Amino acid sequence: MRKSKEELEQEEHHRLQTLGEEEIRDLTHVEDLYNLIMTNKWKKRTEKESRSLFDPEIHIKQLLMHMGVKGKSYKSLAFVIGVSQTTLYTWEKSHPKWKEAKEMAELGRLGKIEDSLINLGNGKNKGNAAAAIFYAKNAAPDDYKDKREIGVSGAVTYVIDTGIPARQLPGQTEAIEAEFKEVVEELSSSDDEDLL
């Protein structure tokens, strides 16, 4: 049996009464975003309009809370504020305080990640360690990665271990070292094309 409009409205009213404050805020936010999209104001803002939307009193606090306290991403902040990602990057270029707050929020986010990993490691929190490590590597790739790039400048000495102890080759060690030095000199003096 199909419900009447009045019954549906009563059910919706009852459902809204049972929601918590955060859920009501979320519904209101979704409604606001829906209206933005439906009126075509979501993506069609000019750079000047995007800059004018910026309210440091509100938006910097939202940024710090979203990233620094909750540990969420910069891109997902666009949804929370109700602007496009392009607007966030416009604010970053045109408002030094926004850029400074973003840097601070990224540090807070990194701290949140580290706390989570530490608590997972020492048993205070339960969860999937692999997922936490994956999150850390993607959220802060400069700080959490398996491979480290190390640059070397200056002279480099190569040591080749033949597996034959030098004492078994009396008198031949000097000859091997001399031949090795010749090869190294030849390689270092030749053009890259010669090596191909």
Is 182 within the bounds of a domain? Answer: no
Q: How far is CA 75 from CA 64, 113, 139, 185, in A?
A: 13, 17, 12, 53
Is 190 within the bounds of a domain? Answer: no
Is 4 within the bounds of a domain? Answer: no
pTM for this entry: 0.51
Is 73 within the bounds of a domain? Answer: yes
Does pLDDT of 108 surpass 80?
Answer: yes
Is 181 within the bounds of a domain? Answer: no
Is 183 within the bounds of a domain? Answer: no
Domain count across the chain: 1
User: How far is Cα of residue 43 from the mean position of the Cα atoms in its chain?
Assistant: 24
Confidence of residue 138 (pLDDT cuts 50, 70, 90): confident
Does pLDDT of 159 surpass 80?
Answer: no
Confidence of residue 2 (pLDDT cuts 50, 70, 90): confident
3-state SS track over the chain? CCCCHHHHHHHHHHHHHHCCHHHHHHHHHHHHHHHHHHCCCCCCCCHHHHHHHCCHHHHHHHHHHHHHHCCCCHHHHHHHHCCCHHHHHHHHHHCHHHHHHHHHHHHHHHHHHHHHHHHHHCCCCCCCHHHHHHHHHHHCCCCCCCCCCCCCCCCCCCCCCCCCCHHHCCCCHHHHHHHHHHHHHHHHHCCHHHHC
**Residue labelled with tokens 């993506």:** 43
Task: For residue range 67-102, list pLDDT tens digits in order.
Answer: 888 888 888 888 888 788 888 888 888 889 989 999
Q: What is the pLDDT of residue 86?
A: 85
Does pLDDT of 128 surpass 70?
Answer: yes
- Structural domain span for residue 98: 20-112
Is 13 within the bounds of a domain? Answer: no
Least confident of 55-64, 112-121, 144-153: 144-153
Is 25 within the bounds of a domain? Answer: yes
Spatial distance between the Cα atoms of 65 and 72, rounded to a whole number of angstroms: 9
Does pLDDT of 157 surpass 80?
Answer: no
Averaged pLDDT for residues 161-172: 62
Spatial distance between the Cα atoms of 44 and 86, rounded to a whole number of angstroms: 11
Is pLDDT larger for residue 177 or for residue 99?
99
Confidence of residue 27 (pLDDT cuts 50, 70, 90): low
